[in-house]
A and B are shown apart, each in its own frame.
Chain A
Amino acid sequence: MKLPVLTNARKRNLVGLLMATPATVILLVMMAYPVIQTFVFSVSEVTLPFFKLSFNGIENFITAFTKPDIVKIITNTLVWTVFSVVLRLILGLGTALIMNNTHLRGITIMRVISLLPWTVPTIVTANTWRWIFQSDFGVINGTLRQLGLGSLAKTWLASPATAMPSILTAATWAGFPFVMMMLLSAMQGLSKEHYEAASIDGANSFQLFLHITLPGIKPVLFVVVALETISAINAFDLIFIMTGGGPAGTTETLGLFVYRLAFGGGFEFGPASAVSVVMILIAVIGFLIYAPTQKINKKRKLV
């Protein structure tokens, strides 16, 4: 990027540094410090009420990761992450491909409608789907009974077999529009000439998708997968409100586990921090994969 050619460089740097100081202070206080605290707590016994700390090595990790339901929690987190990312991606990509047919009449209004769930607050999404899946008066069971399929009606959110798929449905609904939006704007950035040239050469829609669209949107696709994966691992609000981790822990993920340890009554701040440390490390790994894509794009843009 070209910088304004002004007075001497040193003075210029100082001005920039001053402008960024408030932001830097907030980052240090609100991000760096809490993250360090989490690491410290994770190797300390935290005694209430004054949060006195005493080093206890890896005891918190052992406590947290030998809890009886830990295997279930990790399995749930994996299932939740894989399915919510894959479902959002498939639906988001599919919708983007459909909504990219600019020659269709009414495409603008259809785009707006398909983006609608993205604007709905997570809390509202959770309550909406809780109401839809409600077993006695919910619209799904009601419709099934109306169609004479009452035997298929289920206590969706209260049965171990259906709770996770039900939350995943809500998560997909809430999350696919963002994926669509990102991919659609990437598709619109692709040059039309390639498509025209390829179709003159007799390529069909699928070949166009495979050889032009897909490689063209690959960088964005990569970023979206990284963002979605991390946000799925870190998910809390939707699951917490829809099932609270139940029934019988079948939907409890790592995020809810941290909350339960710390605020679920036991005030186990040490073990909660141990799980938090693991989550932070996962986020760092995700970030290390994601961050370089940002630089690659920047370089490309400069050229």
Chain B
Amino acid sequence: MKSKTGYNIITYAIAFILCAFSILPVLWVLSTSLKPETMVFSSPPRWIPEIVSFEHYKSVLSDPRMLRYFFNSFATAGLSTIAALIVGILGAYGFSRYRFPGHKTLMISILFTRMLPRVALIVPFFVTLQKLKMYNTRAGLVLVFLIITMPLSIWLLKGFFDGIPFEIEEAAIVDGCSPLGVLIRIVIPITLPAIASVGMYVFITAWNEFLFALTMTKGIELRTISVGLAFFIDEFGVRWGPLMAASILMSIPAMIVFSLFQKSLIKGLSEGAVKG
């Protein structure tokens, strides 16, 4: 098909506007985070800082409370991801290769967790964690995060496992390998890149979690960075410079993961949403 120049120019113009809408807010945050404190509130707004300063990053990274929030996010999201992957690999492989009583019900339940309102769970989770004396503990928070991380990892991993041909596994089983042996020695090694990308995506989802981290903890000891940034305010009001620097820092893990695994994630997610 021969392309028409006029059509192309309009398409480019619209594409440009859409890209501007996408990127400008991010650039504005970046710009604010790199301005010296005195220029954060300059008027008229300046997109390119006259002087690039890392003072806001320094102030965030030298604040023990902020470091604590970042550490808490890493620990909670990390532990929850590891638990979700262990349970998820076993479960996803079981769901992918075997049919057993309750198979369908379980798959439907996993799918349903995607739609279940998280806010409807805060009261029962709060009550149960209080009763188990696990409210405001890391273990409690990791457990609560599992309701997000586990279904996601099962769903995505099952998609990847479904895509592997069975022949190798059949041969191994004929040779006397146990089902668990097949999973550990054959399936996991060949799907390791996929497992890594699922793990990273699950980690990011947990890293971004806000509501449970807000309601299942109190005080600052276990507070994650998402909650920390929601209450980034002191007696002088919101400190926009450090807040924007911390926002950039909080976004870095997600940006890295998405740039590394963009293709496989998009494939996994778009297939996972449409296929059973």
Contacts and interface: CB of A to CB of B under 8 A. Distances in A.
Given A23-B87, A104-B15, A283 B115 contact: yes
B276 A139 contact: no
B122 A131 contact: no
Given A6-B170, A37-B124, A23 B275 contact: no
Contact of A196 (B1, B7, B88): B1
Given A34-B128, A98-B18, A23 B115 contact: no
Given A280-B117, A283-B117, A298 B276 contact: yes
Nearest to B126: A262
Contacts of A13: 98-101
Interface stretch (A65-73, A78-86, A230-238): A230-238
Contacts of B6: none
B226 A121 contact: yes
Interface stretch (B60-68, B190-198, B239-247): B239-247
Interface in B95-119: 95, 97-103, 106, 108-119
B143 interface: yes
B211 interface: yes
Contacts, number: 320
Interface residues of B, number: 105
A14 interface: yes
B40 interface: yes
Contact of B127 (A51, A127, A131, A142): A51
A210 interface: no
Given A110-B15, A127-B229, A17 B116 contact: no
Contacts of A156: none
A294 B25 contact: no
B215 to A, nearest CB: 6
B52 to A, nearest CB: 18
Interface string B230-261: 10100000101001100100110011001000
A27 B99 CA distance: 18
A246 interface: no
A31 B113 contact: yes
Contacts of B94: 15-20, 23
A14 B97 CA distance: 12
Contacts of B215: 259, 263
Contacts of B131: 51
A128 interface: yes
Interface string B127-140: 11011000000000
Given A4-B170, A129-B25, A186-B270, A137 B41 contact: yes
Contacts of B208: 121-123
Contacts of A199: 1
Contacts of A23: 87-88, 90-91, 94, 106, 110, 150, 154
B45 A234 contact: no
A3 B123 contact: no
A287 interface: yes
B121 interface: yes
B29 interface: yes
- Which secondary structure dominates where chain B touches chain A? helix
Interface in A170-228: 173, 177, 181-182, 185-186, 196, 199, 205, 219-220, 223-224, 227
Nearest to B31: A139
B5 interface: no
Given A3-B97, A110-B19, A142-B45, A35 B123 contact: no
B116 A273 contact: no
B43 interface: yes
B119 A19 contact: no
B48 interface: no
Interface string A266-303: 00010011001101100110110011011101100100
A119 B255 contact: yes
Interface in B1-16: 1, 3, 7-8, 11-12, 14-15
A132 B21 contact: no
Contact of A15 (B117, B179, B273): B179
Interface of A: 1-6, 12-20, 22-24, 26-27, 30-35, 37-38, 41, 46, 51, 91, 94-95, 98-99, 101, 103-104, 107, 110, 112-124, 126-132, 134, 136-137, 139, 142-143, 145-146, 173, 177, 181-182, 185-186, 196, 199, 205, 219-220, 223-224, 227, 230-231, 233-234, 236-237, 240-241, 255, 258-259, 262-263, 269, 272-273, 276-277, 279-280, 283-284, 286-287, 290-291, 293-295, 297-298, 301
18 contacts: A16-B99, A17-B100, A22-B90, A31-B116, A37-B124, A41-B127, A119-B258, A126-B230, A127-B232, A146-B43, A223-B273, A227-B273, A240-B230, A241-B210, A259-B122, A259-B211, A283-B115, A297-B276
Given A23-B94, A142-B45, A298-B276, 5 more contacts: A15-B94, A34-B124, A119-B254, A262-B122, A287-B111
